[in-house]
Structure 1
Amino acid sequence: MRTRKLATLLASTALAATTTLVAGAAPAGAAGPCGSSYSRVGVYAVSKDGTRTGTLEVYYSSSTGKNCALTYGYGAYANTVSWKRVTISRGDGSGESTDAGDYKIYAGPVYVSAPGQCIDVGATVPAWTIRELNNVHCG
């Protein structure tokens, strides 16, 4: 009986240690910028006159029915403070959400609930380079 309790205790301790190691091994950003249920559905270059200045990323969560978007700097604007903007709305313009400012990494995330609808997304990096997409990622 004593051996069985010891075996159970050792097995429980090993399981707890393994669980802690696995949970601790995952990088902090493993869930993604929008959350754990979101998958990236689009990546778009923000550019002007052939020079890329940013990246617009769009994500979708089938469990929430929401889309999410972020704008990152690229090239000279990556990891440097510069004007970045991201906007998302339903294809009819309703439910608009915008984040803009002088950011080092990215603007956003911004979200819109648009199950079964198209969305509009837009990005700016820096202040004079804009990318707009209308009626995309229709669900």
Structure 2
Amino acid sequence: MLSVRGEDRIVQILEWQWGLMQRMLKRSVSVLASLGVMLGGVIAMAPTASAATQYGCPGKKIASYSVTERNEGFNLSNVYLYYDGATGKNCVVNRRTGLGEFGTRARLEVHLWAVGGQSASDVGNFAEQAGPISISAPGRCIRVKAVVHTVSGYYGDLEFGGFCG
């Protein structure tokens, strides 16, 4: 059985621990609040999808697709298609993701063509993106093909269309 003195000591220890936890919680909240303010500033400064030029393509983004690895299904790159109403041109880029080994040079392709009209391609060993490439395709449907290879041996490709003007 504990004496009154022993019980008082236990109460003191518990009060001290409770105070310590409260101080730690206040510091954590303060740090998280500061981090939130900093991240909010970064997010507020990030370019929006309606930016005049993104990844080298002027105009408005009209589509984006993921190129997935053919066996594993993870995202190797993103393909962004833009239309510039001022010039009447379509523009496309194929941009690596982290899993697509962004920053590492390996074969990357992007092709853009108007059915029965102009075409353009950018093919090479690129670390970040293939493109931008642009064509003018008034009154025609356009198609896009993107191919990704990584130095680790992963591969993905994608073809899409249906954008007619």
Same fold (TM over 0.5): yes
Unaligned runs of 5+ in 2: 1-46
Alignment counterpart, residue 63 of structure 2, candidates 25, 28, 42:
42
SS at structure 1 position matched to 2:149: coil
> TM-score, normalised on structure 2?
0.60
Match of 2:83 in 1: 60
* Pairs within 5 Å for 1:1-139: 31-32=53-54, 33-35=56-58, 38-47=59-68, 48-49=70-71, 50-77=73-100, 78-92=102-116, 94-126=117-149, 128-134=155-161, 136-139=162-165
Moved over 6 A (4+): none
For residues 76-105 of structure 1, the C-alpha deviation after alignment (integer angstroms, 9 at most, x for no partner) is: 32222221100001023x311000111111
> Is the deviation greater in 43-52 or in 57-66?
43-52
RMSD of aligned alpha carbons: 2.3
The separation in 1 between residues aligned to 2:118 and 2:139, in whole angstroms, is 14
User: Aligned partner of 2:93: which letter?
Assistant: L
Change (3 A) 1:46 1:66: same
Q: Normalized per residue, which structure has more helix?
A: 2
Higher relative contact order (CA 8 A, sep 6+): 1
Unaligned runs of 5+ in 1: 1-26
Task: Report the structure number with the largest CA radius of gyration.
Answer: 2
The separation in 1 between residues aligned to 2:135 and 2:52, in whole angstroms, is 22
Match of 2:9 in 1: none
